[in-house]
Amino acid sequence: SSKDIKDLIINKGRSLIYSSSLPSYHLYFIQVSLQHVIEDTYRREKLNALSEYFNHQFMELFPNQPLSNTP
């Protein structure tokens, strides 16, 4: 019966059910990290400035090399 199947899954499938999810503290830190990425414009602007500086210096040293804009 379906109750027997349900009981079997509940009793024998616990290791699969509970091992396939992330611990709640991991989810919390992922959420906090994403919030920092979204809100922290200073670091993004600093990275862009460093990237522009690097590209400028690269073009000064190697003017015949094509500049790549890949991430």
Looking up tokens 């509940």 gives 10
Report whether 65 contacts 57 (CB < 8 A).
no
Determine the straight-line distance between the first and last CA of the chain, rounded to whole angstroms: 55
The whole-model pTM stands at 0.47
Write out the E strands in the chain.
Answer: none
Report whether 67 contacts 60 (CB < 8 A).
no
- pLDDT tens digit string along 19-58? 667 788 888 999 999 998 888 899 889 999 999 999 999 9
